[in-house]
Amino acid sequence: MTDATELRRRTQELLRAHPVATTEPTDFLKARFDAGLAWVHYPVGLGGLDAPRSLQPVVDAELEAADAPGNDPRKIGIGLGMAAPTVLGYGTDEQKQRFLRPLWVGEEVWCQLFSEPGAGSDLAALATRAVRDEDSGDWIVNGQKVWTSSAHLARWAILIARTDPDVPKHRGITYFICDMTDPGVEVRPLRQITGEAEFNEVFLTDVRIPDAHRLGAVGDGWKVAQTTLNNERVAIGGARIPREGGMIGPIAQTWRERPELRTHDLHQRLLTLWVEAEVARLTGERLRQQLVAGHPGPEGAGMKLTFARLNQEISGLEVELLGDEGLLYSDWTMRRPDLVDFTGRDAGYRYLRSKGNSIEGGTSEVLLNIVAERVLGLPSEPRNDKDVAWKDLAR
């Protein structure tokens, strides 16, 4: 059985065989994956050692002490946090071998083609169609997706599309891996309130997806998508951060360094938010410990709710603390960033960017329903569309 001592030994072997100072970062990451030290809880041969998830920090600490290169989760977070666990859970052996290594190393960026202009909060109402070509067995996909982070950088996308309009909306969906270099894929920037275009809209015109790139059974896409969505909420709301990491860090630093800005009222509000941020951080640690025993469940929705609310309240307080300075916005450049950065740049950026936290990864309104129904066990809201064929729904 792999334990902490064994993991330290394996990590030191990796460092001796591939010295950090003389090994290209990508080559080091590939060697780390092959040694089973990427995701220690993944199967042998797929970046892991079938070890407990709780032992991953042992490896990370050894490599951090050696100043080993990382794979920059901010840039490939969609692949790491959403695509990888879905491929692991539903992919064929060939799909796992093909996609997981370049995904983890960062050679291939992923994006998520889920939301649509008419199916955001009600994702199951999506209208993008995938029709089987009887001659080749491929799927021909047509439709539009929206709010797609990193689509302008992505090599692959996780995609859900409607394959059967004659059944209720949750049952006629199939899950695919889409090649973003296909000539039928068009990516257009969506300029955000921050001035940049981190998001995109994606148009799919006769995109041909081989059946070998289907994840799960035909018509079972909603079930597969739940794995993605549950992992997404944990990835956004439950990321591992140090004390005073995330949004609370910059305002705490400003408070210490600039006593002239302090007032009693702001002090009390900052203390309250600091405590709430620390409670959320520790709750996230507990949630990750629970994940050792299985897959993430609806509890991730609660973490993501808390993440969004705290980010918005903290960034608002920071702008108020800075007074006139808080109204400044130093960089309104139209650009397409190569990573998702919730806390970067100045206070004005953080305030504006946090407005999206209650939308991305599931709106706060939808997540409140998930917590109420699946965590607290409250009665579900009345729905009159669950047993109606998708084609007969009003749109």
Domain ranges for the chain, please list them.
Answer: 4-105, 110-219, 225-375
Q: Is the pLDDT of residue 383 over 90?
A: no
Q: Is the pLDDT of residue 295 over 70?
A: no
Tokens of 156: 């692959």
How many residues are present in the chain? Answer: 395
Q: Quick one: pLDDT at residue 315?
A: 95
Best-predicted range by mean pLDDT (133-137, 324-328, 389-393)? 133-137
Q: What is the DSSP letter of 220?
A: B
* pLDDT tier, 158 (very low <50, low <70, confident <90, very high otherwise): very high
Read off the pLDDT of each residue in 36-52 and give the average, rounded to a whole number: 95
Q: Is the pLDDT of residue 297 over 70?
A: no
Q: Quick one: pLDDT at residue 301?
A: 79
Establish whether 24 is a catalytic residue: no
Tokens of 186: 């068009």
Q: Which amino acid is at 274?
A: W
Q: What sign for the dihedral angle of Cα 251, 255, 258, 264?
A: positive
Q: Quick one: pLDDT at residue 336?
A: 86
| Three-class SS state of 139 | strand
What single string gives the DSSP state of each residue in 314-348?
HHHHHHHHHGGGGG--S-------SS--SS-S-HH
Asked if residues 172 and 196 have their Cβ atoms less than 8 Å apart, the reply is no
Residue carrying structure tokens 């100072």: 21
The fold of 110-219 is Butyryl-CoA Dehydrogenase, subunit A; domain 2 (2.40.110)
Predicted TM-score (pTM) of the model is 0.88
CATH no., domain 225-375: 1.20.140.10
Q: Quick one: pLDDT at residue 211?
A: 98
Q: Is the pLDDT of residue 185 over 90?
A: yes
* pLDDT tier, 239 (very low <50, low <70, confident <90, very high otherwise): low
Inter-CA distances, 39 with 54, 73, 88, 94, Å: 11, 13, 12, 19
Q: In the chain, which residue ranges form alpha helices assigned H by DSSP?
A: 4-17, 25-34, 56-65, 73-78, 84-90, 93-105, 221-237, 248-257, 264-291, 299-322, 347-353, 364-370
Neighbours of 98 (CB within 10 A): 16
Q: Is the pLDDT of residue 90 over 90?
A: yes
Read off the pLDDT of each residue in 349-355 and give the average, rounded to a whole number: 91
Residue carrying structure tokens 């439950």: 238
- For 299-342, what is each residue's pLDDT tens digit? 777 888 898 999 999 999 999 999 999 888 777 778 888 877 77
* pLDDT tier, 235 (very low <50, low <70, confident <90, very high otherwise): low
Domain formed by 4-105, architecture: Orthogonal Bundle (1.10)
Kindly state the percentage of the chain with pLDDT values over 90: 65
Q: Is the pLDDT of residue 283 over 80?
A: yes
Q: Is the pLDDT of residue 163 over 80?
A: yes
Q: Is the pLDDT of residue 292 over 60?
A: no
* pLDDT tier, 198 (very low <50, low <70, confident <90, very high otherwise): confident
Q: Quick one: pLDDT at residue 234?
A: 66
Q: Is the pLDDT of residue 225 over 80?
A: yes
Q: Is the pLDDT of residue 205 over 80?
A: yes
Q: Which of 151-160, 188-197, 375-384 has the lowest mean pLDDT?
A: 375-384
Read off the pLDDT of each residue in 195-199 and give the average, rounded to a whole number: 88
Read off the pLDDT of each residue in 98-107 and give the average, rounded to a whole number: 97
Higher pLDDT: 365 or 160? It is 160
Classify residue 21 by burial, with Cβ atoms within 10 Å: 0-12, 13-18, 19+. Answer: exposed
Q: Among residues 116, 133, 145, which one has the least CA distance to residue 204?
A: 145
| Three-class SS state of 188 | strand
Read off the pLDDT of each residue in 224-250 and give the average, rounded to a whole number: 80
Query: Alpha-carbon distance 317 to 279, whole Å?
Result: 19
Residue carrying structure tokens 């203390």: 271
Q: Which residues pair with 189 in a beta bridge?
A: 200
Which residue in the list 196, 198, 232, 299 is annotated as catalytic? 232
Query: Alpha-carbon distance 187 to 113, whole Å?
Result: 11
> Given this chain, do its domains 4-105 and 225-375 carry the same CATH topology?
no
Q: Quick one: pLDDT at residue 265?
A: 93
- For 360-378, what is each residue's pLDDT tens digit? 877 888 888 888 888 888 9
Q: Quick one: pLDDT at residue 231?
A: 74
Kindly state the percentage of the chain with pLDDT values over 70: 95
Q: Quick one: pLDDT at residue 320?
A: 95
Neighbours of 292 (CB within 10 A): 12
